[in-house]
Amino acid sequence: MMPFARVQRHRRKGAHLWSVLAVSVCAAIWGSDLRADSEEGMIKSHGYSFYGDLSYPADFAHFDYVNPEAPKGGEIAISTLGTFDSMNPYSRKGRGGALSSMMYESLLGGGTGNEAAPADVYAEYYCLLCESLEYPETKDWVIFNMRPEARFSSGDPVTAHDIAFSHNLLLDQGLKSYADAVRQRIPKVEVLDDYRIKFYFAEGISRRSLIDQVGFVPAWSKKWYEETGARLDESRLETSPGSGPYMIEDVDVNRRIVYKRNPDYWGNDLPFNVGRNNFDRIRVEYFGDENSAFEAFKSGEYTFRNEGNSKQWATAYDFPKAQNGFVKLESIPDGSPPTPSGIVFNLGRETLQDKRVREAVSLAFNFEWTNESLQYGLFKQRASFTQDTPLMATGVPEGAELELLQSLGDVVVPELLTDEVRMPHSSGAARLLDRRNARAASRLLDDAGWAVGDDGKRRNAAGEPLKLTFLLNSSGSATLSAVVENFMSNLEAFGIEAVLERVDASQYTSRERDRDYDLIYDQYAAFLGTGTGLMQRYGSEASEFSLFNPAGLASPMVDAIIEASLQAETREQEQAAMTALDRALRHEFIMIPVWYNDVYWTAYYDQYGHPEEQPAYALGYLDFWWYDAEKAETLRSEGVLR
Superfamily of domain 4-228: Periplasmic binding protein-like II (3.40.190.10)
- pLDDT class of 333 with cuts at 50, 70, 90: very high
- CA 640 distance to own-chain centroid: 35
| pLDDT for res 83 | 93
| pLDDT for res 39 | 54
| pLDDT for res 33 | 39
Q: How high is the mean pLDDT of the chain?
A: 92
Helices (H) and strands (E) in the chain, counts: 19, 26
Residue 41 or residue 414, greater confidence: 414
From CA 477, how far away is CA 484, in angstroms rounded? 11
- CA 314 distance to own-chain centroid: 26
- Beta strand 42-45 with 130-136 is antiparallel
| pLDDT for res 517 | 98
Q: Is the pLDDT of residue 336 over 80?
A: yes
Of 283, 278, 285, 320, nearest in space to 83 by CA: 285
- pLDDT class of 40 with cuts at 50, 70, 90: low
From CA 120, how far away is CA 17, in angstroms rounded? 10
Percent of the chain residues past pLDDT 90, beyond the cut: 85
- pLDDT class of 212 with cuts at 50, 70, 90: very high
| pLDDT for res 397 | 98
| pLDDT for res 28 | 31
pLDDT, mean of residues 113-128: 92
| pLDDT for res 477 | 86
By CB atoms closer than 10 A (0-12, 13-18, 19+), residue 435 is exposed
Strands (E) across 438-481 are located at 451-452, 458-459, 467-473
| pLDDT for res 24 | 34
Tell me the C-alpha to C-alpha distance, in Å, between residue 437 and each of 108, 310, 443: 50, 26, 10
Q: Is the pLDDT of residue 9 over 70?
A: no
pTM: 0.83
Is residue 476 within 8 Å of residue 505, measured between CB atoms? no
Tell me the C-alpha to C-alpha distance, in Å, between residue 170 and each of 4, 250, 347, 460: 9, 27, 28, 46
pLDDT, mean of residues 488-514: 95
> Which H or E element spans position 224?
helix 222-228
pLDDT, mean of residues 424-445: 98
Q: Is the pLDDT of residue 526 over 60?
A: yes
Is residue 211 within 8 Å of residue 565, measured between CB atoms? no
Per residue in 544-581, pLDDT tens? 888 899 999 999 999 999 999 999 988 899 999 999 99
| Residues in the chain, total | 642
Q: Is the pLDDT of residue 392 over 80?
A: yes
Could you please report the per-residue DSSP string of 153-186?
A: TTSPBP-HHHHHHHHHHHHHHS-HHHHHHHHHH-
Lowest-pLDDT range of 103-107, 238-242, 272-276, 502-506: 502-506
List where CATH 3.40.190.10 sits in the chain: 4-228
Per residue in 219-265, pLDDT tens? 999 999 999 999 999 999 999 999 999 999 999 999 999 999 999 99
Q: Is the pLDDT of residue 13 over 80?
A: no
List where CATH 3.10.105.10 sits in the chain: 341-596
Per residue in 351-385, pLDDT tens? 999 999 999 999 999 999 999 999 999 999 999 99
Q: Is the pLDDT of residue 135 over 80?
A: yes
Of 307, 295, 251, 287, nearest in space to 79 by CA: 287
Q: Is the pLDDT of residue 8 over 60?
A: no
For the chain, how far is it from start to end, CA to CA, in angstroms?
47
pLDDT, mean of residues 260-274: 97
| pLDDT for res 354 | 98
From CA 179, how far away is CA 199, in angstroms rounded? 16
From CA 447, how far away is CA 289, in angstroms rounded? 42
| pLDDT for res 542 | 82
From CA 115, how far away is CA 603, in angstroms rounded? 19
Angle between helices 556-566 and 571-588 in degrees, nearest 10: 170
| pLDDT for res 12 | 33
Is residue 78 within 8 Å of residue 283, measured between CB atoms? yes
Is residue 286 within 8 Å of residue 82, measured between CB atoms? yes
- pLDDT class of 505 with cuts at 50, 70, 90: confident
Backbone angles phi, psi at 297, to 5 degrees: -65, -45
Provide the 3-class DSSP secondary structure of residue 105.
Answer: coil
Is residue 532 within 8 Å of residue 214, measured between CB atoms? no
Q: Is the pLDDT of residue 22 over 80?
A: no
Question: Is CATH 3.40.50.1970 correct for 341-596?
Answer: no
Residue 385 or residue 27, greater confidence: 385
Provide the 3-class DSSP secondary structure of residue 18.
Answer: helix
- pLDDT class of 176 with cuts at 50, 70, 90: confident
| pLDDT for res 113 | 84
Q: Is the pLDDT of residue 27 over 60?
A: no
Sheet holding 519-523, edge to edge: 497-503, 467-473, 519-523, 341-345, 591-593
| pLDDT for res 30 | 29
Is residue 146 within 8 Å of residue 195, measured between CB atoms? yes
| pLDDT for res 373 | 96
Tell me the C-alpha to C-alpha distance, in Å, between residue 200 and each of 181, 186, 189, 277, 282: 15, 6, 6, 33, 38
- pLDDT class of 541 with cuts at 50, 70, 90: confident
- CA 633 distance to own-chain centroid: 36
Determine if residue 377 is left, alpha or beta; phi over 0 gives left, psi from -120 to 50 gives alpha, anything else beta: left
Tally of CB atoms within 10 A around 34: 18
Q: Exposure string (b/e) for 270-291, b if CB count within 10 Å is 16 or more? A: bbbbbbbbbbbbbbbbbbeebe
Percent of the chain residues past pLDDT 70, beyond the cut: 94
Lowest-pLDDT range of 302-316, 493-507, 521-535: 521-535
Q: Is the pLDDT of residue 17 over 50?
A: no
List helix spans (H) across 533-603: 533-538, 556-566, 571-588
